[in-house]
Amino acid sequence: MKRTSRTAAAATAALTSLSLPLSAFTLLSTALLSTALVSVALVSTAGCGGGAGQSTVAPSTEPARYVVTEIVSLPYRAVFVDRNRDGYLVGSKALGIQYDDGLVVSPDGTVTVIPNPAGGFTVTYVEAINNVGQVVGTSIGPNDIGATGFVYDIRSGQTTAIPGLTSPRAINDAGKVVGTDLRGNIRKGMVYDIATGTSEELPRTTTDIHNSVPGNFEPFGITGGGLVAGVLFRDLALYDVNTKALKRVSPTPDTDRSFSSVSGVTESGKVPGNDRRGSGSGLTFRRYIYDIASGRKSYLPDEPQTGGLRTVINEAGAVVLGSSGDLSVYQNGQLKKVSEGLSAEDLAKWQIEDAFAIDESGVIYATAAE
């Protein structure tokens, strides 16, 4: 998620939700001194084509209309990164450019601070949650020396260190965690199985077609079936933990594209990410969705951005695009700005920012500042 600085005058933030026909959008926000959760509900269906994956209303050039309602307020700044099927939100307290304490917000608005794992480690940053309530992230050792991944189980309330994995990135419902291990000055992609306590180092290649140097596969998402999406050198790549097959999606040199990044992978085989192009003052990021089944990489119909932005997508293919100060929704072939559907009152009160999740009914989670 992109971090956006705020002035003292804008020292309130919000987690919000908003809905479209047969779908909804939820927005979470951060600011300097506090974070609040609010709901944003649809009050008019103009300009929308129905829920995720279907079209029940004829497309219109008129914007959809939304209303914002506060859910709960947090007395500190926080950054949220993921949501599971049961409605649990996970994130971290933000202290300047650093993070402290992992957070779980339950569907009823109850906030839980994730306990620290044993060994003097302190939870600092949360990365993901699966649908059975397991949360993963990074914790730092005593005196800020050393780091280890952790898993927190909402059901038991227990936090356990993950050996051999310093930076977890994602977890599937079977309890397989993917991420990187940075110990020994070697960056290794890893898969850790919570049930068995075993880990697997992801394959390294010996030749980089761009730089002719060895490199690692760095994972960013994993499906329930064990398909891992990540980056190999500067290219999108896929790895199957069952067959041990590694596939490089963009193996040919591209002088314009500097590298590809990956935000994760859906169970339906969609990989969101962005391509970096150019350099220096001409650097831009263009968001894409890669469909594993068809092998097609499609760029989204928003203008190239000047910062790397998260792109989120649900299983039905509804896409939410975050950009500085606003959100856009791409659905049924239409791209709509959320700000165009807010009332004058809500538009003056809330500044919508970057999305980080969308559920199967179309509820989106993103940043917004008051």
Q: What is the 3-state secondary structure (H, E, C) of 146-159?
A: CEEEEEEECCCCEE
Instruction: Enumerate the β-bridge partners of residue 302.
Output: none
- pLDDT for 31 beyond 60: no
- 289-295: list long-range contacts, CB under 8 Å, 24+ apart: 289/313, 289/317, 289/319, 290/236, 290/249, 292/227, 292/238, 292/265, 293/269, 295/249
Q: Cβ–Cβ contacts within 10 Å for residue 287, how many?
A: 26
CA 35 centroid distance within chain: 18
User: Taking 50 as the threshold, does the pLDDT of residue 66 lie above it?
Assistant: yes
Q: Which range has the top average pLDDT, 13-17, 206-210, 332-336?
A: 332-336
Q: Are 126 and 92 in contact (CB under 8 A)?
A: yes
List all residues 6 or more positions away from 231 whose beta carbon is below 8 Å from its beta carbon.
217, 218, 220, 237, 259, 260, 261, 262
DSSP-derived secondary structure letter, 325: T
What is the C-alpha to C-alpha distance for residues 31 and 75, in angstroms, rounded to an integer? 11
Per the model's pLDDT, the better-predicted residue between 337 and 370 turns out to be 337
Residue-wise pLDDT tens digits, 338-360: 778 778 888 888 776 667 777 78
The rounded distance, in Å, linking the Cα atoms of 293 and 14 is 37
What is the percent of the chain with per-residue pLDDT over 70, rounded to a whole number?
Answer: 68
CB 82 within 8 A of CB 98: no
Query: Would the pLDDT of 21 be above 50?
Result: no
Looking at residue 303, its pLDDT comes to 63
Instruction: Tell whether the model's pLDDT for residue 112 goes beyond 50.
Output: yes
Res. 232: pLDDT tops 80: yes
The mean pLDDT value for 74-101 works out to 84
- pLDDT value at residue 62: 63
What's the pLDDT at 210?
A: 47
pLDDT beyond 50 at 72 = yes
Q: Would you give the distance in Å from CA 233 to the centre of its chain?
A: 21
State in Å, rounded, how far the first CA of the chain is from the last one. Answer: 19
pLDDT at 239 (0 to 100): 94
Beta bridge partners of 36: 14, 73
For 178-236, where are the alpha helices, taking DSSP H only?
none
- Residue 340 three-state SS: helix
pLDDT digits (tens, 9 = 90+) for 259-311: 788 989 999 999 998 888 777 777 787 888 999 999 998 888 866 665 556 77
pLDDT at site 121: 86
Supply the pTM of this predicted model: 0.82
At 335, phi and psi to the nearest 5? -115, 120
The per-residue pLDDT for 100 is: 81
